[in-house]
Amino acid sequence: MAIDIKSKPEIEKMRRTCRLAADVLDMIETHVRPGVTTLELDRICHEFIVRNGAYPAPLNYKGFPKSICTSINEVVCHGIPEARALLDGDIINIDITTIVDGYHGDTSEMFYVGEVDDAARKLIDVTRRSLWLGIEEVGPDKRIGDIGAAIVEYANRQHRYGVVEAFCGHGIGREFHTAPQVSHVGRRGTGMRMREGMTFTIEPMINEGTAHCEVLDDGWTAITRDGRLSAQAEHTVLVTANGFEVLTLRAAARQ
């Protein structure tokens, strides 16, 4: 697939949709608590997105039945919202993709449900740091493989967590998923060179144990093969003339 290099007007559209996606995470955070169902979280996010003149990209995408992904505990990604209530001690990833004026903005974040143990907190901290180490490798003429190399060096070699290989980051713009693929287990000095105007996601999935996962019979929900916890963090990134711009920063980080 050809690499889509965004024009200045297209970059502005990407900024708008990405800011809205980040705002959805800001909005939903106060609703994440014991007793709430992921179906209710989906409803709240859907209504917020539509009220802001956008469309939730996951809804009906290749048959996905809901507007957001909600991945709890051992779910690696693509969890389908349902009537299951959150429990004290759960961890949950909420993955948001909005479409504004034809352009996609994609981001996800981990949330604690009530009181979460230290092991879960450490996993989430390492996952968030892994994302930023990957982002710091972005820049014109740098290699895509360096992104995944930074992630696996930190999460796996330093912390002995499993870094999921089955799913990766991706180009994004008018299409939800385009080239390039952004592996989270890359090798330094490999892969295509990044170019100014490229936009793509970086979204490492870090497992407490094995990196291997299985997809359930619903065709979407991926879980860790050993049943241990998984965490994910995601941003949409623009390659700029001098480095990168994180398009999906949440409001507090945009100050």
Kindly report, residue by residue over 102-152, the tens digit of the pLDDT: 999 999 999 999 999 999 999 999 999 999 999 999 999 999 999 999 999
- Cα–Cα distance, 42 to 69 (Å, whole number): 8
pLDDT above 80: residue 1? no
Rounded CA-CA distance 255/44 in Å is: 26
Tens digit of each residue's pLDDT (9 = 90 or more) over 192-207: 999 999 999 999 999 9
pTM: 0.97
Cα 16 from Cα 169, distance rounded (Å): 20
CATH of domain 8-248: 3.90.230.10
The whole-angstrom separation of Cα 41 and Cα 46 is: 8
Tell me the C-alpha distance between 157 and 162, whole Å.
9
Query: Is the Cα torsion angle 6, 12, 18, 21 positive or negative in sign?
Result: negative
